Amino acid sequence: MAGNQTINGTAITHANSEIRISPRFGKNAGQFFRLRTVKSLDASNGQKHVVVEGPQPGPVQIGVGKAEPSAKFAVTHGEALDLIEFIGNGYLVIPLDMQVSYQRPGEKTKRMKIKNLMIEDDPLKQSVGEANMVDFTCKCLKVEHNGIDPFKFPV
């Protein structure tokens, strides 16, 4: 819910946001599951660069290295079970697409798309006594912001 709040005399503006996940295969392929209890979301394209050393003290050239896009998010245990049920059989091997939309009052909606998200480790592995949040650690193909492809070289 968007709105303004004052904390210690500072006005804070909250954004409307929505996070949805869609499996690419299976019983609910192409349908979206809305995450309602996301505590945190971290997504990165993980781009690396290679420094070429030469005979002089400084580097000679910098080149594009391997990217390792990844994402991690945490939801309640109940929502994790609901999401896994929504994806169905093969939840560890079915690629997912995630869309994050957010809008601050008076601004255009911003979108982040995480393509081909693959759950890397079984999120339901929990020890007794752990908090009620479940971490989903994932690899992905890429993270796009407002439709901008981070790996598409301009022609």
Domain containing residue 131: 14-145
In a domain, 151, yes or no: no
Residue whose pair of structure tokens reads 């400084």 in the numeric block: 58
Here the CATH number for the domain that contains residue 57 is: 2.30.110
Do residues 139 and 147 lie in contact, with contact meaning Cβ atoms separated by under 8 Å?
Answer: no
Q: How far apart are CA 121 and CA 71, in angstroms?
A: 12
In a domain, 155, yes or no: no
Q: How far apart are CA 38 and CA 95, in angstroms?
A: 20
Position 23 pLDDT exceeds 50: yes
Alpha helix segments (H runs only) across 97-146: none
Of 14-18, 46-50, 54-58, which range is least confident? Answer: 14-18
pLDDT tens per residue across span 91-134: 999 999 999 998 877 888 889 999 999 999 888 776 555 568 88
In a domain, 9, yes or no: no
pTM flag (> 0.85): no
DSSP string, 130-151: --SEEEEEEE-SEEEETTB-TT
* Domain count for the chain: 1
In a domain, 113, yes or no: yes
